[in-house]
């Protein structure tokens, strides 16, 4: 699935008109006990690497799919499924966006200015003063909204967890311009081997026929 509309995605999930009516007829799931901020911090600090599939809902409502590879601290790689050849990679304190239409190297943004930086830290501490601005249950899930306490203008990240076992299911990033990007995770595996080259800008440029070291 690539560049599918939000409406088509929901329809495929059975949430078209008939699916939505059927869902309304079902009893609501029991509310889960809210995970504590310490439990959520321990979840992140309990692994260094992870990988799995994802579906991304973009700010314009289109959808993309792919695989995510995460290596704390500070590294993550979003590989998009064909025919989308683009790539997003965070490493070395920067977010690098590779556009297949350009051979001039990636567009670069400071990682510290993105809410994703909060969960890529070496030690995640959701109990830090003024980091969490909302914390509640939504049916069977626990939701935490976090921001950089020193720079709330950078935006925020809404994290959705299931419990028993504790698992990150999705996040929604609201950037500094108010645009929302949702990432729905699937089959996230922890403590997997991820070669360092996956997070090397120079190696990625060589693979793409660019000039390393730019």
pLDDT band at residue 47 under the 50/70/90 scheme: very high
CA distances (Å), 141 to each of 31, 33, 34, 165, 183, in order? 8, 8, 8, 11, 16
Q: Is position 97 within any domain?
A: yes
Which residue carries 């311009």 as its tokens?
Answer: 177
Q: Is position 212 within any domain?
A: no
pLDDT per position as a tens digit, 1-45:
445 454 444 334 433 433 433 344 445 556 679 999 999 999 999
Cα dihedral 43, 45, 51, 52, rounded to 10, equals 10
Quick one: pLDDT at residue 108?
A: 95
Q: What is the CATH number of the domain that holds 98?
A: 2.50.20.10
Identify which of 102-106, 141-145, 164-168 has the greatest average pLDDT.
141-145
Give Cα 155 distance to the centre of its chain.
14
Give CA–CA dist 161/184, Å, rounded.
11
Q: Is position 3 within any domain?
A: no
Q: Is position 53 within any domain?
A: yes
The mean pLDDT of the chain is 86
Q: Is position 171 within any domain?
A: yes
First to last CA, the chain: 33
Percentage of the residues of the chain whose pLDDT score is greater than 70: 82
Q: Is position 182 within any domain?
A: yes
Give CA–CA dist 145/44, Å, rounded.
15
Q: Is position 8 within any domain?
A: no
For residue 160, give its domain range: 30-207
Our separate counts of H helices and E strands in the chain read 4, 12
pTM for the full predicted model: 0.82
Cα dihedral 162, 180, 74, 96, rounded to 10, equals 140
Query: What is the tally of structural domains in the chain?
Result: 1
Quick one: pLDDT at residue 188?
A: 93
Q: Is position 21 within any domain?
A: no
Q: Examine the pLDDT at 106 and tell me if it is beyond 60.
A: yes
């Amino acid at each position: 699935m690539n560049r599918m509309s939000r409406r088509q995605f929901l329809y495929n999930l059975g949430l078209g008109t008939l699916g939505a009516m059927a869902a309304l007829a079902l009893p609501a799931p029991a509310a889960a006990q809210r995970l504590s901020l310490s439990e959520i911090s321990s979840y992140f600090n309990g692994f260094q690497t992870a990988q799995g599939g994802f579906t991304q809902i973009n700010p314009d409502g289109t959808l993309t799919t792919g695989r995510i590879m995460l290596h704390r601290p500070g590294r993550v790689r979003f590989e998009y499924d064909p025919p989308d050849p683009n790539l997003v990679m965070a490493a070395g304190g920067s977010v690098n966006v590779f556009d297949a239409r350009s051979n001039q190297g990636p567009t670069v943004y400071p990682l510290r200015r993105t809410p994703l930086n909060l969960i890529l830290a070496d030690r995640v501490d959701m109990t830090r003063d003024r980091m969490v601005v909302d914390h509640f249950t939504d049916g069977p899930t626990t939701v935490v909204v976090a921001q950089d306490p020193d720079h709330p203008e950078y935006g925020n990240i809404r994290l959705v967890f299931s419990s028993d076992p504790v698992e990150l299911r999705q996040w929604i990033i609201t950037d500094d311009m108010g645009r929302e990007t949702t990432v729905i995770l699937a089959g996230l595996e922890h403590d997997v081997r991820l070669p360092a080259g996956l997070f090397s800008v120079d190696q990625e440029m060589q693979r793409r026929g660019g000039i390393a070291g730019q």
